[in-house]
Amino acid sequence: MDVLDAIRSFRPCLQYNPRPISPEKLKTILSAARLAPSQRNLQPWRFVVVQDDERKRLLAQASNRGKLIAEAPAVIVAFAVEEDIPVTIGGYISAYPLDVAVAVDHLQLAATAEGLGTNWIIEFHEDKVRSVLNVPEGVHPIAVIPIGYPAETNGGAKPANEGRKSPDEVIAYDAYPW
């Protein structure tokens, strides 16, 4: 699958099959995240793969999307290391979660290409996630990503890209027209 096919066919996964993911597949997907570009090549991301049932159960309790976290065979938690991110975007807003978001997008597209479903959850309690995974000071969870083979109906997910704004609503040339 090429990258445009992965972008066009990506669906957030709303229901997982319990079938385990092979370690090779997980490595391929995590390497795609690791290869993402970042500001000054600081690579401020860290990824923790949670497969242990008890820890997954505790992680599920840290989010209102706990069902997805509990049922997926693995959950990848993406972190930002604060000391690696001294920059702002255009001098006005912290670039803090930006690099990690780029890496997470790489990860989700790589997972799609490997036939796996993912979702991206930001609705979590930071303190609880930190406590379950023994996260030190200065390191912050940015995304909790359940990953696995999608169930056949994928939880009734909408068709890919439904509801997206039209090109005219979001793309312009030469000056800002809206």
Ligand X SMILES: Cc1cc2nc3c(=O)[nH]c(=O)nc-3n(C[C@H](O)[C@H](O)[C@H](O)COP(=O)(O)O)c2cc1C
The contact set with ligand X (CB under 6 A) reads: 12, 65, 119-123, 157-158, 163
Least distance to ligand X, CB of residue 13, Å: 10
Closest distance to ligand X from the beta carbon of 177 (Å): 25
C-beta of 48 vs 157, nearer to ligand X: 157
Cβ nearer to ligand X, comparing 87 with 157: 157
Smaller CB distance to ligand X: residue 80 or 174?
80
Mention every residue, 6+ apart, whose C-beta is less than 8 A from residue 62. Answer: 124, 125, 128, 129, 132, 144
How many whole angstroms separate alpha carbon 154 and alpha carbon 142?
24
DSSP assignment, residue 11?
-
Which residue number, 20 or 122, has a Cβ lying nearer to ligand X? Answer: 122
Return the residue nearest ligand X (CB atom): 123
Both tokens of 138, joined, read 């200065």
Instruction: Choose between 22 and 122: whose C-beta lies nearer to ligand X.
Output: 122
CB of 174 to ligand X, least distance (A): 29
Strand order in the sheet with 74-81: 45-50, 74-81, 139-148, 117-118
**Segment (H or E) for 59:** helix 53-60
Minimum gap (Å) between residue 122 Cβ and ligand X: 4
Shortest distance, CB of residue 163 to ligand X, whole angstroms?
A: 5
CB of 138 to ligand X, least distance (A): 22
Are 135 and 150 contacting, i.e. CB atoms less than 8 angstroms apart? no
Q: How many whole angstroms from its chain centre is CA 100?
A: 9
Which is closer to ligand X, CB of 112 or CB of 119? Answer: 119
**63 beta partners:** 124
Q: By three-state DSSP, how is residue 93 classified? A: strand
Pairwise CA distance, residues 35 & 22, whole Å: 20
